[in-house]
């Protein structure tokens, strides 16, 4: 594993700091544009994302291109030492295009074509949309591909959604033909004999529709896979059209927390991962639960390419689209921005630089408010962060030394939620994954979020919560991982279906049965108020005692070689195994048969990670709500201590020698962190260079 990556752009070797910049909204007022540059420098910004949604300003009429404003913009930025991620404008198209070529507009699942409007409202298959996109992209690349200000391509904006037009139906059928080869194979994979759904001609296959088919789970799953594949194909088409001029420019596409696209597959066509993070800070006094889930997404996006990512968007103050939009309390801007860096981001960027005067985002937080000057709390917070990022730029390219991984597959997520199983009122897959991740986060354990097709090498612990969709190959890979000395944690509702959403026959958890040493016979959902419990057996290897509350999901399992560590406390389940350990080869595989709460997960992972030899950021116990994470180049470790608890905290350091990065002073044993406080320390690395 590389511990030191090259900077994202050789032109800009420091941490990136900047914003989405939309000067095309202000072209009528040149003074604003001049003032912007003065303020950017004052805020310590070194990069802007430009041209997102600029199609109407770049091609106001079909074939008429107006690049002068972009020429001036890029020259002005360059003259002032500011770089640019240049966007392709396909996130929204000009009205003339929708009017002349209605096929570019998206058709919803009800088969009604949208009118012009909004954004992200286009068909990824439409030949016209593809042609128009590649034309404008090529022109941008020819004109700016070698511009000294340009550091890379920002492809479109937040790809997402699906289109059900005739072009897309044909493309879907072609995709299915390539996948299955024959209708027979497709009918078997989708179990279509059920309800007489057998297809006798490819043309009978339609994408899922509210007034048509929604109950063939294999169809639903393949449609989602197709949508990912088609969106990637469109993205690749965009990249190809900008690439030719200067192949060395990296391409990114800003992602967000959407479920609809398998970003792991998406990452294959991108050079850099970037994402947009908008947490609702301060919903509660204690922000730690939210901070842990944000950490999960930073970990996920970093893991997609196993190298530093970019925080492409965040708000410097509030959003205007959340149910309640709260301002960032003092300290939170620094804390939340450095949290991204702590988890592997080499940039902190915002939406947007200057607040729009009108339209839907006029009240969304921005670096420059409608007041138009730097004398605002938000601007000062941003400028302060700019100084910090500049000061800590040696962190660029350093790695996150994760020895633990959580398995989180998009197709598992889709299939599990579509399964019509034991708890349709809330199967809570994501919540469960976050809960396991949070238990690790609370102990300062670095975690990668990986897919079952990724390599398992180098991990000591793999956590696979609710691995409902489990391919035979995944089962074999996990078995090998355990046999070779790894520790696996798995839970109820795992190993249930294969990649087509067909149940594994012969006993659950299917391909994991041998590794876990159990047979899961039955599963049920519980109502919100129902409870069962886990009673730890005396002298269990984990050293845990007492009982823990169980809720929502209970599975009845039999051991087949596994050792029982704890049993159910209630109902006819009493005395039956609820927590087991199977020793296989050199490793261990734990099975948690019922949903347990945070108290159990904390105690469980404290012991399991210690036993598995997983490193923690600090060897001391972290106070509630304090996160500790490490970036390292194998020589120096950078330790981030972050207080999300809403209370002042004291963090005890371990025996190693620490230096405060802000002051350069060596740090003694205890560090005080105010509310929303963050401290960055250096120490000699405890990790090897590779
Ligand atoms: C998304 C978009 C931006 C903007 C922000 C507002 O991330 O990419 O254009 O709308 O949301 O939060
Ligand atoms: Zn379409």
SS (H, E, C) 232-270: HHHHHHHHHHHHCCCCCCCEECEECCCCCCCHHHHHHHC
How many Cα atoms occupy the beta-carbon half-sphere of 557 within 13 Å?
33
Angle (CA) 63-67-71 rounded to 5° is 165
Q: Please identify, in words, the CATH class of the domain defined by 404-612.
A: alpha beta
Instruction: Show Cβ contacts of residue 395 under 8 Å, excluding neighbours closer than 6 positions.
Output: 15, 341, 346, 631, 638
Answer whether 276 contacts ligand 1 (Cβ < 6 A).
yes
pTM listed for this prediction: 0.98
Answer whether 364 contacts ligand 1 (Cβ < 6 A).
yes
Consecutive H or E run containing 57: helix 55-58
Instruction: Give just the sign of the alpha carbon dihedral 315, 319, 322, 324.
Output: positive
Instruction: Show Cβ contacts of residue 276 under 8 Å, excluding neighbours closer than 6 positions.
Output: 158, 254, 255, 256, 312, 313, 314, 351
Do the annotations mark residue 165 as ligand-binding?
Answer: yes
The whole-angstrom separation of Cα 416 and Cα 575 is: 29
C-alpha distances (whole Å) from 147 to each of 71, 141, 254, 312 are 9, 9, 22, 21
Mean pLDDT of 224-242: 98
Query: How is domain 626-684 classified at the CATH fold level?
Result: Immunoglobulin-like (2.60.40)
Beta pairing, strands 274-276 & 254-255: parallel
Q: What is the pLDDT of residue 687?
A: 87
Q: What is the pLDDT of residue 2?
A: 86
Mean pLDDT of 560-570: 98
- Output the CA 659–ligand 2 centroid distance in Å: 56
Among 66, 70, 241, CA closest to 155? 241
Do the annotations mark residue 123 as ligand-binding?
Answer: yes
Does 517 have pLDDT greater than 90? yes
The whole-angstrom separation of Cα 254 and Cα 52 is: 11
Q: What is the pLDDT of residue 688?
A: 76
- Provide the residue ranges of all domains of the chain, joining segments of one domain with +: 16-160+223-395, 404-612, 626-684
Beta partners for 325?
none
Does 689 have pLDDT greater than 70? no
Mean pLDDT score of the chain: 97
Six-digit token string for 26: 């202000």
The whole-angstrom separation of Cα 208 and Cα 225 is: 13
**% the chain with pLDDT above 90:** 98
Secondary structure (3-state) at 13: coil
Per residue in 626-665, pLDDT (tens digit) is 999 999 999 999 999 999 999 999 999 999 999 999 999 9
Neighbours of ion ligand 2 (CB under 5 A): 123, 125, 163, 165, 167-168
- Output the CA 359–ligand 1 centroid distance in Å: 13
Whether the bond between 258 and the residue before it is cis, its omega within 30 degrees of 0, is no
The whole-angstrom separation of Cα 660 and Cα 680 is: 6
Mean pLDDT of 7-17: 97
Beta pairing, strands 547-559 & 563-568: unpaired
Beta pairing, strands 678-684 & 658-660: antiparallel
Which residues carry out catalysis?
Answer: 158, 313
The whole-angstrom separation of Cα 555 and Cα 511 is: 17
Answer whether 157 contacts ligand 1 (Cβ < 6 A).
yes
Does 1 have pLDDT greater than 90? no
Answer whether 158 contacts ligand 1 (Cβ < 6 A).
yes
Q: What is the pLDDT of residue 686?
A: 87
Q: Is 241 exposed, middle or buried (0-12, 13-18, 19+ CB in 10 A)?
A: buried
Per residue in 176-217, pLDDT (tens digit) is 999 999 999 999 999 999 999 999 999 999 999 999 999 999
C-alpha distances (whole Å) from 248 to each of 58, 209, 433, 646 are 24, 43, 37, 45
Query: How is domain 16-160+223-395 classified at the CATH fold level?
Result: TIM Barrel (3.20.20)
Mean pLDDT of 46-58: 98
Six-digit token string for 29: 């007022």
- Output the CA 277–ligand 1 centroid distance in Å: 9
Mean pLDDT of 366-390: 98
CA 160 to chain centre: 14
């Amino acid at each position: 594993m590389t511990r030191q990556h090259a900077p994202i752009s050789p032109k800009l070797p420091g941490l990136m700091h900047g914003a989405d910049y939309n000067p095309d909204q202000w072209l009528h007022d040149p003074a604003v544009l001049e003032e912007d540059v003065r303020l950017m420098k004052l805020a310590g910004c070194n990069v802007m994302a430009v041209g997102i949604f600029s199609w109407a300003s770049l091609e106001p009429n079909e074939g008429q291109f107006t690049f002068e404003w972009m020429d001036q913009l890029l020259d002005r930025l360059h003259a002032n030492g500011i770089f640019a991620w240049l966007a392709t404008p396909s996130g929204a198209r000009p009205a003339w295009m929708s009017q002349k070529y209605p096929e570019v507009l998206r058709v919803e699942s009800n088969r009604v074509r949208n009118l012009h409007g909004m954004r992200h409202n286009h068909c990824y298959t439409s030949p016209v949309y593809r042609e128009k996109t590649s034309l404008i992209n090529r022109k941008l690349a020819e004109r700016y591909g070698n511009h000294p200000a340009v550091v890379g391509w920002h492809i479109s904006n937040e790809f997402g959604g699906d289109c059900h037009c005739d072009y897309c139906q044909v493309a879907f059928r072609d995709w299915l033909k390539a996948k299955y080869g024959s209708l027979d194979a497709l009918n078997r994979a989708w179990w279509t004999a059920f309800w007489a759904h057998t297809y006798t001609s490819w043309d009978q296959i339609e994408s899922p529709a509210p007034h048509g088919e929604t109950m063939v789970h294999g169809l639903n799953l393949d449609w989602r896979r197709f949508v990912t594949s088609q969106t990637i194909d469109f993205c690749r088409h965009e990249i190809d059209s900008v690439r030719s001029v200067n192949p060395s420019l990296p391409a990114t596409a800003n992602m967000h927390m959407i479920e609809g696209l398998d970003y792991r597959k998406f990452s294959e066509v991108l050079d850099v991962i970037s994402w947009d993070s908008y947490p609702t800070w301060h919903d509660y006094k204690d922000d730690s639960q939210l901070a842990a889930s944000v950490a999960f997404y930073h970990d996920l996006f970093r893991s997609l390419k196993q190298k530093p990512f970019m925080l492409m968007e965040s708000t410097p103050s509030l959003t205007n689209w959340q149910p309640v939009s709260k301002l960032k309390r003092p300290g939170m801007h620094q804390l939340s921005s450095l949290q991204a860096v702590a988890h592997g981001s080499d940039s902190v960027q915002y939406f947007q630089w200057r607040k729009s005067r009108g339209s839907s985002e006029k009240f969304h937080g921005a670096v420059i408010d409608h007041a138009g000057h730097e004398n605002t709390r938000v601007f000062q917070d941003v400028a302060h962060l700019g100084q910090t990022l500049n000061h800590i730029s040696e962190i660029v390219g350093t790695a996150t030394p994760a020895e633990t991984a959580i398995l989180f597959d998009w197709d598992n997520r889709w299939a599990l939620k579509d399964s019509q199983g034991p708890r349709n009122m809330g199967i809570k897959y994501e919540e469960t994954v976050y809960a396991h991740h949070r238990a690790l986060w609370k102990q300062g354990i670095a975690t990668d979020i990986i897919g079952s097709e990724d390599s398992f090498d180098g991990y000591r612990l793999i956590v696979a919560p609710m691995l409902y969709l489990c391919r035979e190959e995944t089962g074999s890979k996990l078995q090998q991982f355990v046999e070779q000395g790894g520790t696996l944690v798995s839970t109820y509702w795992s190993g249930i279906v294969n990649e087509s959403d067909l149940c594994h026959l012969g006993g659950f958890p299917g391909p994991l049965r041998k590794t876990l040493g159990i047979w899961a016979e039955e599963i049920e959902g519980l109502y919100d108020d129902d409870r069962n419990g886990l009673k730890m057996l005396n002298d269990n290897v984990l050293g845990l005692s007492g009982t823990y509350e169980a809720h929502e999901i209970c599975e009845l399992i039999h051991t087949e070689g596994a050792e029982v560590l704890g049993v159910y406390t209630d109902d006819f389940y009493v005395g039956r195994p609820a927590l087991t350990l199977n020793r296989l080869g050199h490793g261990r595989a734990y099975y948690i048969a019922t949903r347990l709460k945070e108290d159990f997960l904390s105690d469980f992972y404290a012991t399991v990670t210690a036993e598995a030899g997983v490193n923690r950021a600090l060897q001391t116990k972290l106070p509630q709500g304090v996160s500790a994470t490490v970036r390292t180049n194998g020589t120096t470790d950078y330790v981030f201590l972050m207080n999300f608890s809403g209370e002042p905290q004291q963090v005890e350091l371990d025996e190693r020698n620490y230096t405060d990065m802000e002051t350069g002073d060596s740090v003694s044993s205890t560090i005080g962190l105010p509310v929303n406080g963050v401290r960055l320390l250096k120490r000699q690395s405890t990790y090897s260079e590779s």
